[in-house]
Copies of this chain bind each other. A is one copy, B any other.
Amino acid sequence: MSKPDGLRNQKKAETRQAISNVATRLFVERGFENVSVAEVAREAGVARKTVFNYFLRKEDLIFDREEEVRTLVRDAIVNRGSQSPVHAFQALMRTLAVTGHPIFHMSARPIQFWRTVVESPALTTYARELQVTLANDLGEMLADAVHRPHADPDARLAAAMLVSALVVAYGDALRAFREQQDPEAAFISVMERGFVGVNATVVGTPYA
């Protein structure tokens, strides 16, 4: 299951990380559209083609943590005990919001990162893409949890509305941050309001 840690795999990991680091730094410094892949390659001391060998798209150079989120969510749902799957997901989000898990990037440091994303149309679009993927995955996890088919509309609806609420809540947290208000309070307030709606939506389904 895990890789046989030879020299080759070690170097690969290092190269990948080096490219991603250089790219992220350049993007944050000068904006995503103002840095070409050729430049990233040059700065990382590697051929342009090598960059594309490691990363399918230029956008992948900066987005590298989707898997982490997916894992957190999956674990929370699988190990949910007697809670409903939707409740387990909501509990996870409350925890992450309060503990300030880096995924949520709500502290001052990662704001710079998100500014880079928001200021780039391509990165904004890609972030939305990841969002949709998360909603789809969440839908399947919810359906799995109650042994329903992956395409179950109730699961898809619940997942879509959950993610919607979180995205709006996160947007409002960023606004609060900009306006020198408490981003965490803003986040929780909007998130909880959204959860009320989701809970009403899933009433009468096994997801409640």
Residues of A near any B CB (own CB < 8 A): 125, 128-129, 132, 151, 153-154, 156-157, 160-161, 163-165, 167-169, 171-172, 175, 186, 189-190, 193-194, 196-203
Contact = CB atoms under 8 A, between A and B. Distances in A.
A189 B163 CA distance: 21
Contacts of A189: 153
A201 to B, nearest CB: 3
Given A196-B200, A200-B197, A160 B165 contact: yes
A203 B196 CA distance: 10
Contacts of A161: 161, 164-165, 194, 197
Chain copies in complex = 2
A178 B90 CA distance: 33
A24 B128 CA distance: 26
A165 B157 contact: yes
B154 A193 contact: yes
Nearest to A191: B157
Given A160-B165, A160-B167, A175 B196 contact: no
A156 B168 contact: yes
A165 B203 CA distance: 15
Contacts of A128: 128-129, 132
A163 B132 CA distance: 13
A59 to B, nearest CB: 11
Contact of A129 (B125, B156, B200, B203): B125
Contacts of A167: 160
A174 to B, nearest CB: 11
A154 B168 CA distance: 9
A6 to B, nearest CB: 35
